[in-house]
Amino acid sequence: MSSIRPQSLNLTSHHARYPGIDPQSALRNSAVGKVVFISGASRGIGKATAVAFAEAGAKAVYLTARSEEALKETLALVQDANPETHCAYMVCDVTNTEEVEAAVADCVAKFGAIDAADANAGYLGPWVKIGETDPDNWWKCFEVNVKGAYNVVRFTLPHLIESAKRHAVIGGSGGHLIVVSSVGAQLLMKGASDYQTSKHAVNRLCEFVQSDHDEDGIKAFAIHPGGVATELGLSMPDNMHAYLNDEPDLAACFAVWLCSGQADWAKGRYLSANWDVSELSGLKDEIIADELLVNRLRGKA
């Protein structure tokens, strides 16, 4: 039960952006007119996601994180990637409900809508057996990974629903929500009880969002962003670092693909950014018919 081999589909595995998800080629202009809200946007995957949406022609990207200096760096990168993409930020701790609500309100006040949201902020504590854990630090994983994701979901959803309705009239696809999960949600590794159970909960949260709001046009996805050598990734035990061989913009470009409308059929599911999107799309009928990539104890009856 301690194996680290990911539970995955038998698809070609990518480790950096590739033509099928490149915002500058296949996904060029796929985000035109859209406003994207990103938490955890000050570094790593969140920073790369902001840049990728700018490359895809987003109308505006709104950034939140706890470090203002780092947010300023991301804002500069967005402006360099596409001077026509508006960008603003607010210092925000995703575990603080009032701060998240204020950031969402500010985004809408500045840019008029939220068409896509990416709940990217995360936390990983020291790997310790449950009987040796610090209770406060163990619970912090849930505060950031689950409550933080919930806060972003809760306050962006009304605007995402409006986006879905608007795009149903004008064309295109809106109302996309991404919650960053982990392949760890599918694993059982000694010492990782806080992180892996919190990410498992994130997957289930995504399923509930889809169940509750499918009729509102919402398209929610829980994604494994790959193994990225971010500050969070490098806080894993040293023997895990060899698996951190993916670039931050793999997940960033995958997020752009998810929000392009091409993956709307996969809504409510756990997906890996490593999976080749052409091959994944080729499994569409099987995935839908057999209700794959969701949490359950057995196959479809």
Give per-residue pLDDT as tens, 172-186.
899 999 999 998 888
- pLDDT value of position 3: 41
Specify the long-range contacts of residues 225-228, CB closer than 8 Å, at least 24 apart.
225/45, 225/180, 225/182, 225/250, 225/251, 225/254, 225/273, 226/15, 226/250, 226/251, 226/272, 226/273, 226/274, 227/183, 228/44, 228/45
- The type of residue at 243 is Y
- pLDDT value of position 160: 98
Dihedral of CA 262/201/137/236: which sign?
negative
Strands, E assignment, the chain: 35-39, 60-65, 86-91, 116-119, 176-180, 219-224, 269-272
pLDDT in tens, 251-283: 999 999 999 999 999 999 999 999 999 999 999
Q: Which domains does the chain have, with CATH numbers?
A: 22-289 (3.40.50.720)
Q: What are the residue numbers of the active site?
A: 195, 199
- pLDDT value of position 245: 79
Strands 176-180 and 60-65 come out as: unpaired
- pLDDT value of position 4: 43
Per-residue CA distances from 195 to 68, 118, 182 (Å): 26, 19, 9
- The Cα 17–Cα 20 span in angstroms is 8
- pLDDT value of position 138: 95
- pLDDT value of position 189: 87
Sheet architecture: strand order including 269-272: 86-91, 60-65, 35-39, 116-119, 176-180, 219-224, 269-272
| Residues in the chain, pLDDT under 70 | 1-7, 229-244, 298-301
- pLDDT value of position 231: 60
- pLDDT value of position 232: 62
